[in-house]
Amino acid sequence: MTLHDFRYPAAILALIICYFFGDTYFISLLVIIALHSMAAIGLSLLSGYAGQISLGHAAFYGIGAYTSALIALHIGITPWITIPMSAVIAGIVAWAVGPIMFRLKGHHLAMATLAFGIIVHVALVEMRGITGGPNGMGGIPPLSFFGTPLLFDEDIFPLVWGVVIVMILLSENLIRSPHGFTLRAVGAREHVVPTLGSDTNKSKCLVLIISAVFAAIAGAIYGHYIGYLSPGPFSTTFSVKLLVMVAIGGFSRIWGVVLGVIFVTFLSEWLKPFGNVELLFYGALLIFTMIYCPNGLLSQLGVVASNAARNLRQRTPS
Amino acid sequence: MTSADTSALLTVRNVSMHFGGLKALNDVSFDVIKGEVLSLIGPNGAGKTTMLKIASGAQAPTTGKIAYKGTQIIGLSADRINRLGIGRTFQAAEIFDTMTVRENVMTGAVAREAGSVASSLLYWGRAKQRVEKLRQIADEALDLVGLGDMADLPAQDLPTGQQRLLGFARIFATGAELLLLDEPGGGLNAVEKTRLIETIRRLRDLGRTVILVEHDMSVIAQVSDRIVVLDQGLKISEGTPEKVKSDPKVIEAYLGTSASTVAPKPQKDQPAFRPVEMEVVDLTVTYGQTVAVDNVSLKLRTGEILTILGANGAGKSSLLKAIAGLEKPAGGTIKLRDKHIAGIPPDKIAALGLCLTPEGRALFPSLSVADNLALGRYVSLKRKRGLLGILALRQEDRDEIDAKREEIYQLFPILKERANQKAGTLSGGQGQMLAIGRSLMNDPSILMLDEPSLGLAPQVIDEILHKLEHLREQGLTLILVEQNASAALRIADRGYVFSSGRISMQGPAQDLLEDPSIRDAYLGGDDANTQTLRVNATQ
Ligand SMILES: Nc1ncnc2c1ncn2[C@@H]1O[C@H](COP(=O)(O)OP(=O)(O)OP(=O)(O)O)[C@@H](O)[C@H]1O
Ligand SMILES: [Mg+2]
């Protein structure tokens, strides 16, 4: 296990400090950041390491949110069980669409994932009888812990960040495992992989399933935490936003992606007064990052900062 | 040999591959016997790579059958075929450039050591052991090809020759019993080739079977048990090396009859009195911590051929890239006539008439041969007419492109035949010809060629070198980086020898050719062997 890795204790320490000293607004932002991180980490495995761009990842987030909420509402099972159930369902959906989508490559694949995202979104809007359509559905039971419902940001905070840490750990494990090598090889030069005896489609489907499960868990927790669902948050805009987070974090850097999520979340808070201009801004940011910082905006800023520091140090002694 | 012969590991029967009207393979049959090294040779475009692609499942033949250990493999997926025991390397190195050298090779062994997904996610005991096992397999394979010390480097930092060895180690790590090697010697110098020969022999001793595609006849002569010769898709000869090299059909189609290739250059005029075309002073190129080019100064005089020799990784390609503006120098100056060009973007430099044909040719794979050539002309056209001039070509410009293209076609007739074929589907050698042709389209005043002979059949190399001399007489100045050192020195006026990023020796080409230390280090037995083979062939 990589628990000796200093980043885990450092992150946990930082979270504890935030938990005790942050105000309510700050904590609520951190909860959102955690939920988005779960989806973004999965997307980083899929689009970063394995190089399969997805423009429809919000669909899995939505599937997770709605299935968990619907099962809890109509059958009355505790969310502790419906959340994993929704993850399994999202996994099955991924398993079913993966082999079809991965017949396509490059732009064609991107278009197919976009279409998938739109189809799921339209379904959420149109299936009024079940989902409540654009009006949404309310009264979703919250998670509860020994009888106390987890209603407030402070209550859910340890849970969501715990899940994020576990997902980071699992992802890092996957990356350095034998399967991880194949994933990265698919991302680097797909046509070589079959000559090494591995089935590219299998490994792409595997990573799609994993990323779908991560996104579904995030969506499901989100539903029980907010208590109300409407199709709005599960549109293509959210898919693009996730991709921007992953890109800014450097695509194939698990921890970097979390930083990317933090960056974009604070940015979107700041952009809120401007309304829909938001999306325009993300587009521009994405293009800028792809051209000038292929390893991620933040790591590029890191490089610039460390160069500046070195220059400063070189200048001072002389 | 009949297919009933139990020792045949692979039997190829009546395999044909047609691309439209082109018969890349035409009813080819042969056997590969367990434990042998079978070489597949033939001119550029003969169908060698196509044969390997079919045998490894990357492509299905139009007709024909291939059996491996009695199992029909046509129609099986490539990964399935690899797990049966057939591994293939690529003509281009095709390394995973986001990984280290060791990780590249570890990836090769994954298919035999993957384990379950759950154990990968949790990374409990078993997964850890598996990774450890992969590491061991990888280190063994790296030692075998002599890349052991470079295991932790990012794979993309390796020079091209070593990248090809890496591809070789990677396929070895899959545990494949039958190895299909597509020009493993491309881009290696004489010393490294000796190492390659040893490696192939060691593989045979380990009981592996090899099908080797290679243009370097000295390598072929030293490792092959048997040879199959293809020409334009047809098998024209098969047998022991002795038998094949004296077969008149093979001599006619491939080996050629000239005993000595290019006559050494007589020292005629003194290039020292010619004007300096380009001067490089104290040039340094670094990648992170490593210094690829270390304070190098050199002069290039108008109308000369300058050759740069040196082992793989000595910094030759980095020097050329820095001059062409593709790599930003960390220090030093480059003066082209009166203009300082260090740090200027590459397109501006190309517009000044300084052109680089990079190693491993950067062609536009989805464009046709003719369009690739036309693109080579656009730089100078844009300078003359601006962007609009390119978007709407004038008739005179179109004629100019056609005329220039015709010149290139004269140089490489095969390109004319394939004018409409997509560049991505050309054979390795055809692609190399196109890359050289494209640089010439721009009428450069200085042309820098990085390993022009890579992947070319011996006869074609001779031809190209002759043609380079010809171009020089018409006023072109050339810098030539070549692993085929003896051939390069024969046509060059002067040479520089690079080692570890510095110039370790320089002088007139004739002197370098005769220098015993150079002979040992870079010329090796290579030259002598090729010639013996040719002399034998003429007898
Ligand atoms: N997809 C394709 N479409 C059309 N022609 C093709 C295609 N693939 C290969 N060819 C042609 O088939 C012929 C055989 O190609 P192949 O790559 O097998 O040659 P080769 O013997 O490996 O040559 P080299 O020594 O130059 O690598 C070439 O003329 C090539 O242009
Ligand atoms: Mg070939």
Q: For B467-502, how does the pLDDT look when each residue is reduced to its tens digit (9 = 90+)? A: 888 888 888 899 999 887 878 888 888 999 988 888
Band of the pLDDT at B523, cuts 50, 70, 90? low
Q: How many residues are there in chain A?
A: 318
Of the listed ranges B21-35, B202-216, B454-468, the one predicted with least confidence: B454-468
pLDDT (average), residues B255-283: 65
pLDDT (average), residues B72-88: 92
Going by C-alpha positions, the residue among B136, B7, B21 that lies closest to residue B69 is B7
Tell me whether strands B86-88 and B178-182 are parallel, antiparallel or unpaired. parallel
Going by C-alpha positions, the residue among B197, B250, B186 that lies closest to residue B46 is B250
Amino acid at A100: I
What is the Cα–Cα distance from A258 to A167, expressed in whole angstroms? Answer: 11
pLDDT (average), residues A61-88: 95
Sign of CA dihedral B403, B405, B410, B416: negative
Mean of pLDDT over chain A: 89
Assign 3-class secondary structure to B284-304: EEEECCEEEEEEEEEEEECCC
What is the Cα–Cα distance from A175 to B352, expressed in whole angstroms? Answer: 47
Band of the pLDDT at A175, cuts 50, 70, 90? very high
Please say whether the beta carbons of A140 and A223 come within 8 A.
yes
Give pLDDT, residue B93: 81
Q: Report which listed range, A117-126, B191-200, B312-321, is most confident.
A: A117-126
Q: How many residues are there in chain B?
A: 539
Sign of CA dihedral B166, B171, B175, B178: negative
Q: How many CB atoms lie within 10 A of CB B118?
A: 10
What is the Cα–Cα distance from A168 to A310, expressed in whole angstroms? Answer: 32
**pLDDT > 70? residue A318:** no
Band of the pLDDT at B259, cuts 50, 70, 90? very low
Please say whether the beta carbons of A93 and A116 come within 8 A.
no
Q: Report which listed range, A202-216, B217-231, B416-430, is most confident.
A: A202-216
Edge-first strand order for the sheet with B71-72 is B22-33, B8-19, B63-68, B71-72
Atom of ligand 1 nearest to the CA of B418: 31
Partner-chain contact A177 B115, CB within 8 Å:
yes
**pLDDT > 50? residue B537:** no
Partner-chain contact A188 B98, CB within 8 Å:
yes
In sequence order, the β-bridge partners of residue A34 are none
Atom of ligand 1 nearest to the CA of B53: 18
Interface check B134 vs A, CB under 8 A: yes
Contact partners, residue B362, CB within 8 Å, separation at least 6: B435
The domain locations on chain A are: 3-315
Atom of ligand 1 nearest to the CA of B25: 14
Interface check A295 vs B, CB under 8 A: no
Q: Where is pLDDT greater, at B388 or A250?
A: A250
What is the Cα–Cα distance from A189 to A208, expressed in whole angstroms? Answer: 18
**Residue pLDDT, tens place only, B110-147:** 887 767 777 777 776 677 888 899 999 999 999 988 89
> And the tokens for B73?
């493999």
Give pLDDT, residue A261: 94
Instruction: Please work out, in degrees rounded to the nearest 5, the angle formed at the alpha carbon of residue B174 by the alpha carbons of B169 and B178.
Output: 90
Going by C-alpha positions, the residue among B424, B512, B187 that lies closest to residue B317 is B187
Give pLDDT, residue B96: 94
Of the listed ranges A150-154, B166-170, B258-262, the one predicted with least confidence: B258-262
pLDDT (average), residues A154-166: 93
pLDDT (average), residues B56-72: 93
Give pLDDT, residue B9: 93
Ligand 1 site-directed mutation target among B23, B28, B39, B49, most atoms within 8 Å of CB:
B49
Going by C-alpha positions, the residue among A43, A24, A36 that lies closest to residue A152 is A24
**pLDDT > 80? residue A192:** yes
Band of the pLDDT at B273, cuts 50, 70, 90? low
Q: Report which listed range, A64-73, B233-242, B285-294, B426-435, is most confident.
A: A64-73
> And the tokens for B59?
């492509």
Of the listed ranges B68-77, B93-102, B263-272, the one predicted with least confidence: B263-272
Confirm or reject: Cβ of B46 under 6 Å from ligand 1: yes
> And the tokens for B410?
């004269």
Distances in Å between the Cα of B404 and the Cα atoms of B58, B363, B410, B463 are 37, 18, 10, 20
- CA B87 to chain centroid: 20
- DSSP code at position B154: B
> And the tokens for A274?
């401007």
Partner-chain contact A189 B95, CB within 8 Å:
yes
Of the listed ranges A231-240, A245-254, B373-382, the one predicted with least confidence: B373-382
By Cβ distance, the residue of A178, A182, A200 closest to B130 is A178
By Cβ distance, the residue of B90, B97, B106 closest to A188 is B97
Going by C-alpha positions, the residue among B246, B362, B316, B292 that lies closest to residue B482 is B316
Give pLDDT, residue B531: 36
Chain B stretch 137-176, residues whose beta carbon is closer than 8 A to a beta carbon of chain A: 170-171, 174
Of the listed ranges B21-30, B243-252, B491-500, the one predicted with least confidence: B243-252
Q: What is B463-531 written as a DSSP string?
A: HHHHHHHHHHHTT-EEEEE-S-HHHHHHH-SEEEEEETTEEEEEEEHHHHHH-HHHIIIIITTHHHHHH
Interface check B131 vs A, CB under 8 A: yes
What is the Cα–Cα distance from B10 to A100, expressed in whole angstroms? Answer: 35
**pLDDT > 70? residue B398:** yes
Please say whether the beta carbons of A194 and B80 come within 8 A.
no
**pLDDT > 70? residue B224:** yes
Band of the pLDDT at A317, cuts 50, 70, 90? low
**Partners of residue B106 in chain A, C-beta under 8 Å:** 181
Give pLDDT, residue A4: 55
- Quote the minimal CA–CA distance from B223 to chain A in Å: 24
pLDDT (average), residues B223-241: 92
Of the listed ranges A35-39, A257-261, B56-60, B344-348, the one predicted with least confidence: B344-348
The CATH class given to the A3-315 domain equals mainly alpha
Give pLDDT, residue A112: 95
Element (H, E) at B339: strand B339-340
Sign of CA dihedral B42, B46, B50, B51: negative
Give pLDDT, residue B107: 94
What is the Cα–Cα distance from B461 to B465, expressed in whole angstroms? Answer: 6
Of the listed ranges A21-30, A76-85, B110-119, B338-347, the one predicted with least confidence: B110-119
- Cβ burial, residue B131 (10 Å; 0-12/13-18/19+): buried
Give pLDDT, residue B265: 52
Closest CA to ligand 1's atom 7: B425
Please say whether the beta carbons of B170 and B105 come within 8 A.
yes
Band of the pLDDT at A219, cuts 50, 70, 90? very high
- Cβ burial, residue A103 (10 Å; 0-12/13-18/19+): exposed
ipTM over 0.90? The verdict is no
pLDDT (average), residues B454-472: 82
Q: Whose structure tokens read 């220090």? A: B331
By Cβ distance, the residue of A188, A191, A196 closest to B170 is A196
Instruction: Please work out, in degrees rounded to the nearest 5, the angle formed at the alpha carbon of residue B495 by the alpha carbons of B323 and B220.
Output: 100
Choose the mutation target among B89, B120, B156 for the interface with A, i.e. most A CBs under 10 Å. Answer: B120
Q: Whose structure tokens read 């790591």? A: A299
Amino acid at B1: M
Amino acid at A43: L
Q: Where is pLDDT greater, at A179 or B518?
A: A179
Give pLDDT, residue B256: 65
pLDDT (average), residues B411-431: 89
What is the Cα–Cα distance from B377 to B12, expressed in whole angstroms? Answer: 44
Partner-chain contact B79 A178, CB within 8 Å:
no
Q: What is A142-171 written as a DSSP string?
A: PPEETTEE--SHHHHHHHHHHHHHHHHHHH
In sequence order, the β-bridge partners of residue B481 are B308, B450
**pLDDT > 70? residue B535:** no
What is the Cα–Cα distance from B178 to A195, expressed in whole angstroms? Answer: 12
Interface check B97 vs A, CB under 8 A: yes
**Residue pLDDT, tens place only, A247-295:** 988 877 889 999 999 999 998 888 888 877 777 888 888 888 888 877 7
**pLDDT > 60? residue B263:** no
Mean of pLDDT over chain B: 84
> And the tokens for B477?
């100045």
As separate numbers, helices (DSSP H) first and strands (DSSP E) second, chain A gives 13, 2
What is the Cα–Cα distance from B236 to A161, expressed in whole angstroms? Answer: 69
In sequence order, the β-bridge partners of residue B242 are none
What is the Cα–Cα distance from B5 to B32, expressed in whole angstroms? Answer: 11
**Residue pLDDT, tens place only, B85-111:** 999 998 888 899 889 999 999 999 988
- CA B63 to chain centroid: 30
Give pLDDT, residue B129: 84
Choose the mutation target among B103, B107, B126, B425 for the interface with A, i.e. most A CBs under 10 Å. Answer: B107
Give pLDDT, residue A316: 60
Q: Where is pLDDT greater, at B428 or B56?
A: B56
- CA B110 to chain centroid: 28
**pLDDT > 50? residue B516:** yes
Question: Phi/psi at B268 (nearest 5 deg)?
Answer: -90, -90
Confirm or reject: Cβ of B47 under 6 Å from ligand 1: yes
Residue of A nearest to B118 (CA): A174
Band of the pLDDT at B539, cuts 50, 70, 90? very low
Q: For a pLDDT cut of 70, what percent of chain B falls above it?
A: 91
What is the Cα–Cα distance from B202 to A307, expressed in whole angstroms? Answer: 48
Give pLDDT, residue B269: 52
Going by C-alpha positions, the residue among B479, B483, B506 that lies closest to residue B322 is B479
Q: For a pLDDT cut of 90, what percent of chain B falls above it?
A: 38
Q: How many CB atoms lie within 10 A of CB B404?
A: 20
Q: Looking at A22-135, list the stretches that DSSP marks H as alpha helix, in order from N- to C-terminal side.
A: 24-43, 58-75, 79-101, 106-126, 128-131
Please say whether the beta carbons of B282 and B322 come within 8 A.
no
Please say whether the beta carbons of A136 and A80 come within 8 A.
no
